[in-house]
Amino acid sequence: MKELLLQYAAYNAWANQRILDCITALPEASAHQALASSFPTLYATLLHIWDTESAWYQRVRLQEHVIRPGDSFTGTIQDLATSIRHQDQVISSWVQQASEAALLHVMKYHTSKREPVKQPVWQVLMHAFNHSSYHRGQLVTMLRQSGVERIPNTDFIAFTWLRKPRA
């Protein structure tokens, strides 16, 4: 199980890096352009990815009161990209050092609706990675709405192709 989580943590960081490289190559104003999606801008969607990855990491670390960094963040798109990259490194490092017992540990937390939940850490991590993937898909759609033509492939299978020689 740990090997899968390490691979997914690396994939998440790789995919985030690719989409961040695409977005940060655009003018700052493009990140704040209103577009149709779950969040109104590329910036707001990235802020949500960062907030959520951070919140799940804090929960995995058994932090009782989750702090969403985006609540007080006022940086540029470059600053936001740096923060997401850092969060990805922190999560990857934590998974690397985590024992099998830590990954199997059933943690308790409250949902955003204050509902109590018990869940193994490994499931929480898989959810966090999957959640970011979901919103990267939205970012791709938003980039297309903006007229961007060169959008990176962030599929998991593309990540694996880079890691292993194909037969």
Q: Which residues are annotated as a binding site for a divalent metal cation?
A: 48, 131, 135
Q: Are 5 and 95 in contact (CB under 8 A)?
A: yes
Of 96, 90, 87, 85, the C-alpha closest to 5 is 96
Of 13, 21, 72, 65, the C-alpha closest to 47 is 72
Angle between helices 42-60 and 2-24 in degrees, nearest 10: 160
Of 126, 54, 117, the C-alpha closest to 91 is 54
The token pair at 103 is: 């990954």
Of 122, 166, 138, the C-alpha closest to 9 is 122
Give 14's Cβ-side CA count (13 Å radius).
17
Q: Which residues are annotated as a binding site?
A: 48, 131, 135
